[in-house]
Amino acid sequence: EPEVTQTPSHQVTQMGQEVILRCVPISNHLYFYWYRQILGQKVEFLVSFYNNEISEKSEIFDDQFSVERPDGSNFTLKIRSTKLEDSAMYFCASIGGGITGELFFGEGSRLTVL
Amino acid sequence: AQKITQTQPGMFVQEKEAVTLDCTYDTSDPSYGLFWYKQPSSGEMIFLIYQGSYDQQNATEGRYSLNFQKARKSANLVISASQLGDSAMYFCAMRGGANSKLTFGKGITLSVRP
């Protein structure tokens, strides 16, 4: 069964450092998303991406965040200068299309900022 | 704007019994989809069931069924014959338009007792 893969599974970084989280969506999917979940809290939408551009972003997704699809398979989330409050699980998700389609989630990348 | 409300405190159920997890929603979109995801302690997001706003029948997927009451704007998840492996966090979510983001509720913790 096709799946969304994320790397790294866990990253520890120092405050102020840049972090890149990588995702490989399902190959024929067209819409990509990043979500964040602070430990024990709700899953929060960060950004959606379609046709090589951001289609929607939340207020969380400020200038410290950026997304990129550098090639035909990878979808990355970059945090330029990490803060303590960026510690969370980051989920990548993709969907083929249509309102009935489920979002396929990756297993998440846990980011710990010290 | 869409809103998902999950207000139940942690839920407990005896193994082999049924349990209902509550979810209410609010949206101005005429067409929308409702989803339930399971998040075990390992952290991944597992899709369980989908209900479309125009679906005439309640969705069912194995031991999962969705009690959809459109007039009340509720989409409760019913798990029949609970198993120990059902112990997890459960999130209700909705999408207002095709390929738009999922909006999540804060989740409900379910514990299945042997």
Cβ neighbours, 10 Å, residue B103: 22
Tokens linked to A72: 């035909």
pLDDT over threshold 70, residue A72: yes
- Which of A41, A99, A108 lies closest to B43 in CB terms? A108
Q: Is B42 helix (H, G, I), strand (E, B) or coil?
A: coil
Q: Does A110 touch chain B (CB under 8 A)?
A: yes
User: Across residues B31-54, what is the average pLDDT?
Assistant: 92
Under the banding of pLDDT at 50, 70 and 90, the label for residue A98 is: low
Tell me, yes or no, if A23 comes closer than 8 A to chain B by beta carbon: no
Closest among A29, A32, A60, A30 to A44, alpha carbons compared: A60
For A85, the 3-state DSSP assignment is: helix
Q: pLDDT band at A40, cuts 50/70/90?
A: confident
> What's the N-to-C CA distance of chain A in angstroms?
37
Which residues of chain B have a Cβ shorter than 8 Å from any chain A Cβ? Answer: 31-33, 35, 37, 43-45, 47, 50, 52, 91, 93, 95, 97-107
List the single residue in B33, B45, B107 with the smallest CB-CB distance to A105: B45
Report which of residues A90 and B31 the model is more confident about.
A90
The percent of residues in chain B predicted with pLDDT above 70, rounded, is 98
For residue A99, pLDDT over 70 is answered with: no
Is residue A100's pLDDT more than 70?
Answer: no
Does the CA dihedral B89-B34-B65-A107 come out positive or negative? negative
Q: What is the mean pLDDT of chain A?
A: 91
Distances (CA, A) of B107 to A35, A46, B5, B26, B57: 15, 18, 9, 16, 25
Closest by Cβ to B31, choosing from A30, A99, A107: A99
Average the pLDDT over A14-38 and give the result: 94
Average pLDDT for residues B69-98, to the nearest whole number?
94
pLDDT at B98: 65
> Residue A56 pairs with which residues in a beta bridge?
A48
pLDDT at res. A97: 64
User: What pLDDT is attached to residue B9?
Assistant: 83
By the 8 A CB rule, do B18 and B112 touch? no
Confidence of residue A73 (pLDDT cuts 50, 70, 90): confident
Q: How many residues does chain A have?
A: 114
DSSP A102: P
pLDDT of residue B111: 97
